[in-house]
Amino acid sequence: MSPVLAPGSRIGLMGGGQLGRMFILAARSMGYRVNVFVPEADSPAGQIADREVSRAYLDEEAVREFSRGVDVLTFEFENIPRQTVQWAAEHCEVRPSGGILHITQNRAREKEFLAAGGFPLPTWANVTTAADLVAAAGRTGYPAILKTASFGYDGKGQRRLNSDEEARRCDLSGGPFVLEAQVPFVMEISAVVARGGDGQSVCYPVCENLHRNHILDTTVVPARVAPEVAVRAAELAWAMAERLDLVGVLTVEMFVLQDGKLLVNELAPRPHNSGHFSIDACVTSQFEQQVRAVCGLPLGSPELLRPCAMANLLGDLWADGEPDWAAAAASGDVKIHLYGKTEPRAGRKMGHLTAFGSSPDEALARVLAAREALRTGREP
């Protein structure tokens, strides 16, 4: 069982984006201090941290000094170099473990882990050479999705292949890759689960995710799926957290097929964009759960208080000037969250809205109307 780190303890956080920012807000409300280690200065997380260290992840001296100054280290994203985590672990507790990050920061390793555990996956194969790609396509058929094994997110590092001719022309620099059969899914969902050092785990209501241009656009909670599908998704997330021996938060993205079967898409050993609804709509947010888990406290209730929907705000909204925040806020049940990013760019996540309703459908309609009001100035 993990020792309890009482409020007043110092948490180290690697990564400085919006997930880190929201983690710090939760930690601060519970009385913890947070130091951030991030390559760039004035990061969204660093703006509100007790201390921001702006050094490269492979700066051994800086990593060791940072780790000696905290009681526990956690992460806001998984793509931290393995060597960095090993240096840190010599000086402080690391939660989740570096081994979990090593698995989940590479699609091939992640799929091998899932396959070894018997979890349901799309047909897939590793690809390094042109010969590998031909053989892999023989397994997956067409269309298929070629994905970089590392550093892919929001659709980056992915391309669709429709034929042998396209496969033969494919540039395989920047590999290795994995090739996946394109899945004829009817819905994408995610399950966010938290697990403590004592093995206690809780799962949030399953989320229904809608994407636009490969970027998460809206999340609806609870997901509009049959009850048995939601139960199965939660069971899969629990089982993966257990197999990983996770201490922290794990998000499992899944495809729902026409017959209700589930296939696992990706894992993220951290809070997730699709779990942002929990800040306003649950007894305990996913970020508070991360604080509780890594500090050895009992986990909080993940109970959903009302049906809700979350809509991402991308930099595109600023194309014609400052959005009309008053119009979006005119609906008293719309919550506005901005991430402290000063430069809006197309496709960049700048914030999100959360809205509520008597049903998931009503909540979705309200959050979309509020986001549209940011563009038009017309109150929803």
Domain edges within the chain:
10-94, 123-181, 187-376
Question: Could you tell me the fold of the domain covering 123-181?
Answer: Dna Ligase; domain 1 (3.30.1490)
Count H helices and E strands in the chain, helices first. Answer: 12, 18
Reported in sequence order, the residue ranges of the chain that DSSP labels E, i.e. its strands, are 10-14, 33-37, 51-53, 72-75, 93-94, 124-127, 144-148, 158-161, 177-181, 187-195, 201-203, 207-212, 215-221, 248-256, 262-268, 308-314, 335-338, 349-356
For the segment 126-139, what is each residue's pLDDT rounded down to a tens digit?
999 888 998 999 99
Q: Which CATH class is domain 10-94?
A: alpha beta
Question: Is residue 154 over pLDDT 80?
Answer: no
Q: Which CATH class is domain 187-376?
A: alpha beta
**Least confident interval from 233-237, 306-310, 327-331:** 327-331
The Cβ of residue 376 has, within 10 Å, a number of other Cβ atoms equal to: 11
Q: Which of 12-16, 64-68, 174-178 has the lowest mean pLDDT?
A: 174-178
pLDDT at 1: 54
* pLDDT greater than 70 at residue 348: yes
Cα 117 to chain centroid, rounded: 22
What would the pLDDT profile of 57-96 be if each residue is shown by its tens digit?
Answer: 999 999 999 999 999 999 999 999 999 999 999 999 999 9
Residues in the chain: 380
Task: Tell me the three-class secondary structure of 8-60, residue by residue.
Answer: CCEEEEECCCHHHHHHHHHHHHCCCEEEEECCCCCCCCHHHCCEEECCCCCCH
- pTM tops 0.75, yes or no: yes
Are the CB atoms for 356 and 307 separated by under 8 Å? yes
